[in-house]
Structure 1
C-alpha cells in the first residue's frame, strides 16, 4: 500500500466511513515496519514541512515509540481475550483502531502544538532574528551570544538569533562559513543549509552550501560533526558522523552522502582567504574566484578540462592569481573587455 492509500484509508476511518474489512486492513498497515516512515511523514505534514520542527519531531521518536508499544501491548492482550470467541468482533476492531488513530493524532497534535507554540514564540521575538550578508569579495567575522565564532565567506548569508530559544542553538547558512562552535552538550548547535542539516556540540569545521550548487560539503578540523538530511523520508537512514580530517559531499538531488579525507590545513587556509587545491577541476576554482572578485573570468576550450594544484591568496590582485593558475596548467590569462580569459592547454602527465 502506498502513502496515498494509507492516508486515504486513515482519513476514511476518522470520518467513520470504514467497513469492517477496511478497518482490519488499516489495523495491519499501521503495525507494519515499512509504514513507519509513512506515518512519520503524515505527522510531519501537520508541521507544514518546517525543517526545524521536523528535526525536533524525530528527536522525540523515543517518547512516541513508547506510546506506540504500550498501545500495541494493550491491544494484544485484548485480542487474546477476544479470540476465545468463535467469531471476530467487528466492534473490537473499531475500538482498537480508535486507539490507534488516537495515538497517531495525539502524536501529531501534541508535536504540532508544541512546535507551533515555539514558532509563535519565535515570531513574537522576530526582532531578535538577525541576518549577516557578505558581498562579492567581502568577508565578515561574528561572535554569537554563546561564544561561537563564525567566519562568513564572500557572497554568503547567515541567519541567527542573539539568544537561546528552545533546546537547540540554530542558524541557517546560504554560502560558505567556517564555524568554531562553543561547547555546550545540553544545547546542540545546528546549521540548516537547504535540505542539509549539520549538528555539533563544540567543534570547528567549514561548510560550503551555496544555494545554486548541486553538491554541498562539510570539512572537519576538530571534534565530531553529524551531517544528515532534513527530508523526512531520509532522516532515519541518511546521516554520517565525521571526525577531524574528514569531509562529506552532500548531493542535494538524491540525498547521498559521500565521505572522503580532507587536509585540515587546507580548511584553515580557506578561513584566512587562501584557496588550496589538489587536483580540483578548474571550473570549480573559477567559481570560487568569482565569489572573491567582481570580475568576469572565462575559460577557453582547451582549458576547461584542466585540473588545478596550488595555494592562492585572495588578498592578491586577481591578475596575479590568474597568472599563477595559467602557469600551472601551461596556459595564459588574457585581460579583455574588463574581464579575463584563460587560454591554453594542460600540462602533459
Structure 2
C-alpha cells in the first residue's frame, strides 16, 4: 500500500475508494496490520516534530518590566506508541484493531498534534494524553491528565469525549480548555466556542451544559459555572504564563506544574504581595524568580537534585 494513501487515511482525508482499498489490503495479510500501525507511529512522530519546529521560530514577546526574551528551546517529547489496549476503527472496518498512543509532555514545554479525525490538540507542560491512532465507530474518546486546549472537528454522529480522573467533557465540535492535573485533584473547563457537557465522575447526576464565554469548576464536590473574566490565562498554548493581580503564593503554585518542581515557601509574609505580568515559559523558572525579586525581598535555593526550590 502506498504510504501517501495511508497518511491521507490517518489525516481523515482519504476517499471512500482509498478506505475500501486499505480494508482489502489489511484482509490480504496479517503483516499488513503491523505495517499500518508502524506507519501510524511514524506519522504521529512527524506531526509532532513539525509542530515543535514551527513553534521554535515564533516571534518573541517581552516580559513585564521590558525584560528581553531568549530564543525558545525545546527538548524531545516522550511518545509511547502502541499501548496494549485496542479499539475498533468504525462500522466499515470493525475487523481492524488499532493501538493507542500516549504522549507525555516534559516540564516547561507544550505539544501540538492533530488527531485522525482532524481535531487539533495543544498539550500543556506535565500533561499525559492518550488517544487512538484511529477512532471507534460511535464515539471519539481520549484521556487527559493535565491541561489541554481542543479544537474538535465537528461530527454530530460521533461525539468527542475527554475523559479525566475527575470529570468527563463531551462535545460535538467546539473550542475549549480543560485543566485536570491528577496530582492537584482539581478540575476546570472553559468554553470559547460551541457547546460542551461536563459530567462529574464522582456524581454522574451532577451534569452541566456550558455555553461560550463560561467556565465550569469543581468546587466542594460540585460543578459550578461562572463567566470567563480573564482569557489571558489560556495563553499558555502560546508559551506564556499570564497573571493579573495574582497572589504570590498562588502564582508559585501555578508555575509549579509548568516546570515540574516543588516550591516550598518558608517566607509566609510573601502572601501579602500580588503581581500582574506576562512571562515566556521557555525562559525558565529561575528567570521568573529573579524578576519577581525586584519587587519582593526574598531569596531562593535549590535542593541537591534540583527538584525542590525553597523560597526564603
Q: TM-score, normalised by structure 2?
A: 0.62
Q: Does 2:299 align with 1:331?
A: no
Query: Structure 1 CA distance, aligned partners of 2:217 and 2:117?
Result: 28
Q: Is the 8 A contact 2:125 2:259 kept in 1?
A: no
- What is the CA-CA distance between 1:202 and the residue it aligns to? 1.1
Which residue does the alignment assign to 1:141? 112
Once the two structures are superposed, the pairs formed by residues 20-169 of structure 1 within 5 Å of their partners are 127-169=98-140
Once the two structures are superposed, the pairs formed by residues 275-294 of structure 1 within 5 Å of their partners are 275-293=241-259
Q: Does 2:194 align with 1:223?
A: yes
Task: Between 151-160 and 268-277, report the one with greater CA deviation.
Answer: 268-277
Indicate which of 204, 215, 218 corresponds to 1:250. Answer: 218
Once the two structures are superposed, the pairs formed by residues 265-276 of structure 1 within 5 Å of their partners are 265-276=231-242
Task: Between 136-145 and 170-179, report the one with greater CA deviation.
Answer: 136-145
The 3 A distance-change label for structure 1 pair 244 and 280 is farther
Which residue does the alignment assign to 1:312? 279
The 3 A distance-change label for structure 1 pair 332 and 296 is farther
Query: Structure 2 CA distance, aligned partners of 1:222 and 1:264?
Result: 16
- What is the CA-CA distance between 1:166 and the residue it aligns to? 3.1
Query: Structure 1 CA distance, aligned partners of 2:106 and 2:96?
Result: 27
- What is the CA-CA distance between 1:215 and the residue it aligns to? 2.1
- Which is richer in strand? 2
- Which is richer in helix? 1
Q: Does 2:264 align with 1:298?
A: yes
Query: What is the root-mean-square deviation in Å for CA atoms of aligned residues?
Result: 2.8
Any stretches of 5+ residues in structure 1 without a counterpart?
A: 1-118, 344-349
Q: Is the 8 A contact 1:221 1:264 kept in 2?
A: no
Which residue does the alignment assign to 2:204? 235
- What is the CA-CA distance between 1:157 and the residue it aligns to? 0.6
Q: Is the 8 A contact 1:280 1:309 kept in 2?
A: yes
Which residue does the alignment assign to 2:289? 322
Number of residues of Structure 1 aligned to a counterpart in Structure 2: 218
Q: TM-score, normalised by structure 1?
A: 0.56
Higher relative contact order (CA 8 A, sep 6+): 2
Q: Secondary structure at the match of 2:106?
A: coil
Which residue does the alignment assign to 1:194? 165
Kindly report structure 1 stretches of 4+ aligned residues shifted beyond 6 Å: none
Query: Structure 2 CA distance, aligned partners of 1:153 and 1:314?
Result: 11
The 3 A distance-change label for structure 1 pair 176 and 302 is same
Query: Structure 2 CA distance, aligned partners of 1:244 and 1:323?
Result: 38
- What is the CA-CA distance between 1:326 and the residue it aligns to? 4.1
- What is the CA-CA distance between 1:292 and the residue it aligns to? 2.6
Q: Secondary structure at the match of 1:269?
A: helix
Any stretches of 5+ residues in structure 2 without a counterpart?
A: 1-84, 89-94
